[in-house]
Chain A
Amino acid sequence: MRWLFLTLAGPTLWAVMFSIVYALHGVVCAGVAGPEGLGLGARWMLIVVWVLGLAAFVPLYRALPHGGELTHYLPRLGVWIGLAATAFTLFPVVFVTSC
């Protein structure tokens, strides 16, 4: 079953990043971080978190087994799926959304 977990690691990281960004967005818009809501500072914070999330895929990718077999290839493809999903779906969230 370990192999299945490795294969799902990439998409799972996407789900984690979504949860983090969604939660931060909610906290910011609830005024917890300050009265200005989603101002420049908060937006930069979201962008930094997003970039850190993208960067987190690098060690994950490096930690996975490398080789030509499908058992090695699929977990790495899973990371690419997670990376693309994180980049594409969270990009509009951190750059253009408002409260």
Chain B
Amino acid sequence: MTDITSFDAAEDRATTNSIPRNPPQRALHLHRELGRVWANDKGFWGQITAVSHTTLGLRFMATAFVFFAIGGILSMLIRAQLATHQGAFLDTEIYNQIFTMHGSIMMFLFAIPMLEGLAIWLLPKMLGTRDMAFPRLTSLGYWCYLFGGLIMLTALLFGVAPRDGWFMYTPLASAVHSPGINADVWLLGVTFVEISAIAAAVEITVTILRQRAPGMKLTEMPLFAWYMLGTSAMMLVGFPPLIAGSVLLELERAFGWPFFDPTRGGDPLLWQHLFWLFGHPEVYIIFLPAAGVMSMIIPVMCRTKILGYGAIVAAVLGLVFLSFGLWVHHMFTVGIPHMALAFFSAASVLVAVPTAVQVFAWIGTMWKGQPQLHLPMYHILGFFLTFVMGGLTGVMLAIVPFNWQAHDTAFVTAHLHYVLIGGFVFPMMAAVTYWMPLITGRRRIKGLGETAFWVIVVGFHGTFFIMHLTGLMGMPRRIDIYPDNPEWVWLNLTSSIFSFVLTIGFAMFALDLLLQIFLGKRESRDPWEAPTLDWAMPLPSPNYNYASLPTLRDLDKPARDVILPLARGEGALPGAPRGRREFLVTRAINAEPDHVAILPGNTALPLVLSASIGVFVLLMLASLYLLAAFALLPVAALIWVWVRAMAPSGDLRPIEIAPGTSLPVHHHARQSLAQSGLNALLVADGTLFASLIFGLAFLSVVTQGPAAPPAGAHTMASLVALGVIGVVMMIAAWIATGVGRGTAQLGVVLNIVALVVLTWLALTQMDDPTVHARDALRAAVAGYVALHVIVAAGMAAFVADQYRRGEITAQIHGGYPGWRKWQSFTTATTLIAIAILLAQVFA
């Protein structure tokens, strides 16, 4: 037996090809054993404490469907109002809230959570593992999403919903022009929901890179995983600018820090840049998972392999990069420089190329295969018809002179609905109908779904194709009444009529799903005869997915050929003989087995933590800022409890995953999942910092507002204080490279010293942040640094506590590597912030 107990034995670890088969066992016995360990608790409490990816993925999707229905009802109200030119169905205030909430719900409470839910539910099954990397984080993400969404919906019921459009432009959303809590609901609610998005992005990234079945190389994994890897990378880089912008705007509204106020050196365009730095990648964040679904379903429906795997992967990489070079095309009319117009127009046209590569690959796959017209294929054809039209109008809008004409008209409304419904909703409907047997274990009742598809297609194009015309005739978007212009009136009425047809179509689609769930006959295993691992399991899929985990020899076979061997425990790590939730962790590129991760069981901790964050959000909404600050204390305490629960306990001996092959448990691993997760989180955190620095640079270089007042007391004392902070942080980073209890205790002291000096600097030396945007942004950057120093101190204290308890040994590093990494990151951002501040002072 290969016995591995330390880092130094890494070279002897099991390799992909050396994992022998386990002897077959009774499948029922394994099923019961795994069921006991992986099942949710019983009853309502079981729903509260569930951390299983199967449960939570489905719950994400079900909740997203509910929000989709609510957003759809709001759209019906909009169309009812616009059916006639002087519609009196809604007053202007309510109309503004409804169209804002329609967009916000569809983007933040339907599309993003839907793709998160699909990825959380599907990826472990497709990659050959038993759960996502961080199950409690999955649960936390869900509760944050639910609570954030409920806050926004409750605001709608009480008539205080956001009303400034789903992109919340300033100065309209500023405290002056939008008094009350309406805009705050959006800023705090969306930021609350985005915790869920960042959490999902971290664990999707880690799951794809570290949990693929042994032997499933990065370059051979299912295309859906490639798409989700691109999506999660974009989420890690795309969402932080929105979070930064939302925090800054909330600071402006709550405390008068004038980031976006042009009379005090701010700039509304800074909001637009930060928003669209998120907003345009967001379009691709939504599209890529849908395209991943297409790439999985089309080959199965056409009984062939996907055409151009490498070209599609390259197209995904191209889209990921190019999508960050497009955001300014939403701002062509705001008076940006000629140079930026040229660049972003060209980039916006160029992005059609990788998109077209994928479309042609899918068409080629259908051409070489034998397409079978099952229901998922209907929706795929609906995608082609709709999305390609949306893409073409997108190219039109990328051309600057046309954009100037069509901007903010109904043409843009038509374009974005063609892209989003064509590029996301149709593929999602294909996905749901394709994977429904795996969800329910039941067969659908034919007829209703096909009818629903045609009603949706007719209703959709009847509603939105016409909007191209109303837009080209000059009708602006977001107006609640319009002139009695005969050219507009009949078009709007027609749109409204077809929109109700569209709604009936979606209702029929939902009914079809319900009929399948409650009345469908039992489906046989692998009904589509698919080649991928997601079908190599019983229907409906159990929480643990696989009784034993697939290895290299299972990857090239059709799903139906590996169902039984895996169910009989012939794969790796069969059953749950130690009564723990376990799965294999592999290396990022070649998927060599690395160690065995032990997962936490069911817990209500994520619910309690998200509720605590929710209390903070509600106190902020109520303008009880001091209480809100105190509300962060239980949040910090719960995070401590959360991390404590990961302390090593029980049997930590290596685990035999197959005869003669053992792997260490994650406490002994050099590069654990937590390390990989922290890497991903720091990418997002670094982007957040870069967004603040971008803001500082934008206001310093581009904004033409009133000059900043002369800097206040930039005394020798403040320069010395900056120097002290820099030196102390460098020492902290340096000592964090050592190991020992004393090192961690010294780390706590150094971080506290840096925090005290920073606080003194902020209170006595920095200029009033309410006077000028420059000083407000400096204060925001100082706040960012202070927050990170506090976390670094907390992490050092945690590591010191682990040493005290004897939980860190020569073999087990506990929280030490995480603290070291965080300390280095905090030091780097602190030094950058100091350098920029000094450059501004001396410039």
Is there contact, CB below 8 Å, between A89 and B325? yes
Number of A residues contacting the other chain (C-beta, 8 Å)?
33
Per the bound structure, the CA–CA distance linking A48 and B524 in Å amounts to: 65
**Which of B317, B337, B354 lies at the interface centre, i.e. has the most chain A CB atoms within 10 A of its CB?**
B317
Q: A89-B325, A89-B350 are in contact. Are A18 and B343 (CB under 8 A)?
A: yes
Is B42's beta carbon under 8 Å from chain A?
no
B216 to chain A, nearest CB (A): 13
Is A1's beta carbon under 8 Å from chain B?
yes
Is B338's beta carbon under 8 Å from chain A?
yes
Is A49's beta carbon under 8 Å from chain B?
no
Is there contact, CB below 8 Å, between B314 and A18? no
Q: How large is the interface on B (under 10, 10 to 19, 20 to 34, 35 or more residues)?
A: 20 to 34
B571 to chain A, nearest CB (A): 25
Query: Which secondary structure dominates chain A's binding surface?
Result: helix
Is there contact, CB below 8 Å, between B219 and A74? yes
Which residues 31-47 of A have a CB within 8 angstroms of B? Answer: none
Which residues 320-345 of B have a CB within 8 angstroms of A? Answer: 321-322, 325, 337-343, 345
**Which residues of B are found within 8 Å of A18, using beta-carbon distances?**
325, 343
- Nearest neighbor of A78 in chain B, beta-carbon distance: B317
Is B713's beta carbon under 8 Å from chain A?
no
Is B588's beta carbon under 8 Å from chain A?
yes
Is there contact, CB below 8 Å, between B317 and A81? yes
Per the bound structure, the CA–CA distance linking A29 and B338 in Å amounts to: 11
**Which residues of B are found within 8 Å of A1, using beta-carbon distances?**
588-589
Per the bound structure, the CA–CA distance linking A88 and B318 in Å amounts to: 14
Q: Mark B278-310, 1 if CB is under 8 A from A, else 0.
A: 000000000000000000000000000000011
B310 to chain A, nearest CB (A): 5
- Nearest neighbor of B217 in chain A, beta-carbon distance: A71
The contact of A84 among B219, B309, B350, B588, by CB within 8 Å, is B350
Is there contact, CB below 8 Å, between A89 and B313? no
The contact of A73 among B310, B341, B347, by CB within 8 Å, is B310
Is there contact, CB below 8 Å, between B350 and A85? yes
**Which residues of A are found within 8 Å of B629, using beta-carbon distances?**
none
The contact of A74 among B310, B325, B701, by CB within 8 Å, is B310
Is A14's beta carbon under 8 Å from chain B?
yes
Is A96's beta carbon under 8 Å from chain B?
yes
Is there contact, CB below 8 Å, between B347 and A74? no
The contact of B339 among A14, A69, A93, by CB within 8 Å, is A93
The contact of B353 among A26, A84, A99, by CB within 8 Å, is A84
- Nearest neighbor of B341 in chain A, beta-carbon distance: A97
Query: Which secondary structure dominates chain B's binding surface?
Result: helix
Q: Mark B217-244, 1 if CB is under 8 A from A, else 0.
A: 1111000000000000000000000000
Per the bound structure, the CA–CA distance linking A73 and B341 in Å amounts to: 34
Is there contact, CB below 8 Å, between A88 and B343? no
Is there contact, CB below 8 Å, between B339 and A97? yes
Is there contact, CB below 8 Å, between B588 and A96? no
Is A70's beta carbon under 8 Å from chain B?
yes
A43 to chain B, nearest CB (A): 12
Is B346's beta carbon under 8 Å from chain A?
yes
**Which residues of B are found within 8 Å of A92, using beta-carbon distances?**
342-343, 345-346
**Which residues of B are found within 8 Å of A22, using beta-carbon distances?**
339-340, 343
**Which of B218, B310, B338 lies at the interface centre, i.e. has the most chain A CB atoms within 10 A of its CB?**
B338
Per the bound structure, the CA–CA distance linking A81 and B317 in Å amounts to: 9
Is there contact, CB below 8 Å, between B219 and A71? yes
**Which residues of A are found within 8 Å of B310, using beta-carbon distances?**
70, 73-74, 77
Q: A1-B588, A3-B589, A18-B325 are in contact. Are A93 and B343 (CB under 8 A)?
A: yes
**Which residues of A are found within 8 Å of B342, using beta-carbon distances?**
92-93, 96-97
Which residues 702-750 of B have a CB within 8 angstroms of A? Answer: none
**Which residues of A are found within 8 Å of B311, using beta-carbon distances?**
77
Is there contact, CB below 8 Å, between A70 and B318? no
A38 to chain B, nearest CB (A): 9
Q: Which 9 A-B pairs have the closest CB atoms?
A: A70-B219, A11-B321, A77-B314, A92-B342, A89-B346, A97-B339, A81-B318, A89-B347, A97-B338
Given contacts A7-B317, A85-B350, 19 further A-B contacts (CB under 8 A): A3-B589, A11-B322, A25-B339, A74-B219, A74-B313, A77-B310, A77-B311, A80-B314, A85-B318, A85-B322, A88-B347, A88-B350, A89-B350, A90-B346, A91-B346, A92-B342, A93-B342, A93-B346, A99-B337
Q: Hey, which bits of chain B sit against chain A, CB under 8 A?
A: 217-220, 309-311, 313-314, 317-318, 321-322, 325, 337-343, 345-347, 349-350, 353-354, 588-589, 701
Please, could you name 12 A-B residue pairs with CB atoms under 8 Å apart, sorted by A? A3-B589, A15-B321, A18-B343, A22-B340, A69-B219, A71-B218, A74-B219, A74-B317, A80-B314, A84-B350, A85-B321, A89-B346
